[in-house]
C-alpha cells in the first residue's frame, strides 16, 4: 500500500496531538483536580459558603454590605469597608476604583443637566470619613478635607482662589489664601487654568481608620481591620443592649492573625462576626 503524502501524515499527527491533549488537559486533569478539591477542601472548593438554618447567607471569602434598602448602615451590625465592585461587593464586577492620590478635583453636577458629576478620590475619602465619624460618634476630620466632607482643594488664579469642590452657595472652608479671596465653585465653570493647591488644614491624626474610607483592590474584601472593628464596638453594643466587653470578646474570636505569623495585619471577618452577634 502506498504511503500517505508527508503533508497528510503531518496533519494526522497534529490532530492526534490535539485529541490527546484535549482529553488529558480538558477532561482528565479537571476531573482529577475537582475530585481532589472536593475530597480534601470541600468547603473552600464550593466557595466557603456559610449557612444558617439551611439558608446560604454569604461566603467567608466575599464581603457584603450591611445596609437597609436606602443604603443606610444597619446600626446593630458591624459595617464592612467600602467597595468599588459594581454597586458594592458584586463578584461579577470585581474591581478597584483605579483612582490615584492625585485625583483631588470633583466634577460638580450642573443643575438640570443629565451629568451628575463625579467625586474625586479625595472627596470620596472625606465623605466616608465624615459619615463614619457621625455614625460612631467620633471626629471624622482628616487632613485635606473640609468640615462638610469634600476635598479641601483650591484653584488659584492671579486675582482669586476658588474652593473647587464646594459648589455655590456653600461657604468656602477658608476665606482667604495668600491675600486672595476664596470663592465657592460655580458648577459647569472651567477652572483648569488655575493652579491646584490642596490645603492640609489643622486636623490631627484621623480617628477613623484608613480601611473604613478606602475600598480594597478587588472590591470583595470580607475583612476589616481590628481598629475599625474596635471603633464600631461601642455602637453595636449600645444598639443591641450588650456589654461592650462581650462584643469585643466576639471581635477577638473572629480575628485572624498575620499570615505565617509575620505577613500582613490581623483582620476581622465581618460576616462571621455579625452572625456570631445574632447567635449570642
Mean pLDDT for the stretch of residues 34-38: 82
pLDDT at 51: 78
Q: What percent of the chain has pLDDT over 90?
A: 70
- Whether 114 shows a pLDDT value over 80: the answer reads no
CA distance 225 to 88: 19
* Torsion sign over Cα 130, 134, 136, 141: positive
For residue 95, what pLDDT band results from cuts at 50, 70 and 90?
A: confident
pLDDT at 43: 64
Residue 56: per-residue pLDDT: 82
What pTM value is reported for the model?
Answer: 0.83
Beta bridge mates, 182: 161
- Contact status, residue 142 vs residue 198, Cβ threshold 8 Å: no
Please give the residue that has the higher pLDDT: either 236 or 36: 236
Give the per-residue pLDDT at 220. Answer: 92
Mean of per-residue pLDDT scores for the chain: 91
80 and 65 Cβ atoms separated by less than 8 Å = yes
pLDDT the model gives residue 200: 95
Phi and psi at 21, nearest 5°, equal -65, -35
Residue 177 is classified by DSSP as: E
Amino acid at each position: 500500500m502506498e504511503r500517505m503524502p508527508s503533508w497528510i501524515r503531518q496533519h494526522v499527527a497534529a490532530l492526534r496531538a490535539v485529541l490527546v491533549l484535549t482529553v488529558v488537559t480538558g477532561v482528565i486533569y479537571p476531573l482529577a483536580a475537582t475530585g481532589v478539591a472536593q475530597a480534601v477542601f470541600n468547603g473552600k472548593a464550593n466557595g466557603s459558603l456559610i449557612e444558617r438554618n439551611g439558608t446560604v447567607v454569604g461566603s467567608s471569602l466575599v464581603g457584603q454590605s450591611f445596609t437597609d434598602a436606602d443604603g443606610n448602615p444597619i446600626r446593630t451590625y458591624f459595617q464592612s469597608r467600602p467597595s468599588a465592585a459594581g454597586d458594592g461587593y458584586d463578584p461579577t464586577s470585581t474591581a478597584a476604583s483605579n483612582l490615584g492620590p492625585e485625583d483631588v478635583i470633583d466634577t460638580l453636577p450642573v443643575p438640570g443637566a443629565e451629568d451628575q458629576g463625579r467625586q474625586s478620590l479625595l472627596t470620596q475619602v472625606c465623605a466616608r470619613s465624615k459619615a463614619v465619624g457621625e455614625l460612631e460618634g467620633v471626629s471624622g476630620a482628616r487632613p485635606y478635607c473640609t468640615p462638610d466632607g469634600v476635598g479641601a482643594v483650591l484653584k488659584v488664579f492671579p486675582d482669586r482662589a476658588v474652593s473647587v469642590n464646594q459648589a455655590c452657595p456653600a461657604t468656602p472652608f477658608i476665606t482667604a489664601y495668600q491675600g486672595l479671596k476664596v470663592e465657592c465653585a460655580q458648577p459647569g465653570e472651567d477652572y483648569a487654568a488655575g493652579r491646584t493647591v490642596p490645603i492640609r488644614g489643622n486636623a490631627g491624626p484621623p480617628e477613623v481608620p484608613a480601611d473604613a474610607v478606602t475600598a480594597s483592590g478587588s472590591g470583595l474584601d470580607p475583612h476589616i481591620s481590628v481598629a475599625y472593628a474596635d471603633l464600631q464596638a461601642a455602637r453595636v453594643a449600645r444598639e443591641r443592649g450588650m456589654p461592650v466587653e462581650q462584643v469585643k470578646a466576639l471581635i477577638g474570636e473572629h480575628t485572624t492573625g498575620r499570615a505565617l505569623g509575620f505577613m500582613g495585619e490581623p483582620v476581622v471577618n465581618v460576616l462571621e462576626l455579625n452572625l456570631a452577634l445574632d447567635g449570642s
